């Protein structure tokens, strides 16, 4: 089991606990489930922005932390929406098989 799968399992357990009214005390994950999809999406936007800033600042120490924050919040969104992490990984696997098959982009003349 990968670290991503392990974390996702914990997130799903927090969701189950929340739904049963047995939220872990001081659980940030349960707090996010309580606030709902709007709050979760807002956090994803914030973390994405912080990831971009860290990259633009050429701060790899901060960048790795922000990427992890972003991935965590994406996982919470997946769990909230009932999307299994394995489904996300499957899409990545499928795309990985297409590496080297560069798509030909259609050029559009915007002046016409």
pLDDT digits (tens, 9 = 90+) for 69-110: 999 999 999 999 999 999 999 999 898 888 666 665 556 666
Q: Does 3-86 carry CATH code 1.10.287.1080?
A: yes
Q: Which residues contact 89 (CB under 8 A, 6 or more apart)?
A: 4
pLDDT digits 0-9 by tens, 55-66: 999 999 999 999
pLDDT digits (tens, 9 = 90+) for 23-57: 888 899 999 999 999 999 999 999 999 999 999 99
> Would you kindly state where each structural domain of the chain is located, as residue ranges?
3-86
């Amino acid at each position: 089991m990968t670290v991503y799968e392990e974390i996702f399992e914990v997130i799903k357990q927090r969701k189950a606990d929340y739904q049963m009214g047995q939220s872990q005390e001081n659980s940030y994950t349960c707090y996010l489930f309580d606030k709902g999809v709007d709050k979760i999406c807002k956090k994803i936007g914030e973390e994405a922005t912080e990831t971009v800033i860290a990259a633009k600042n050429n701060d790899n120490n901060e960048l790795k932390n922000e990427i992890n924050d972003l991935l965590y919040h994406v996982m919470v969104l997946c769990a909230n929406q009932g999307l299994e992490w394995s489904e996300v990984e499957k899409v990545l696997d499928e795309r990985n098989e297409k590496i080297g098959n560069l798509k030909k982009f259609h050029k559009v003349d915007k002046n016409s």
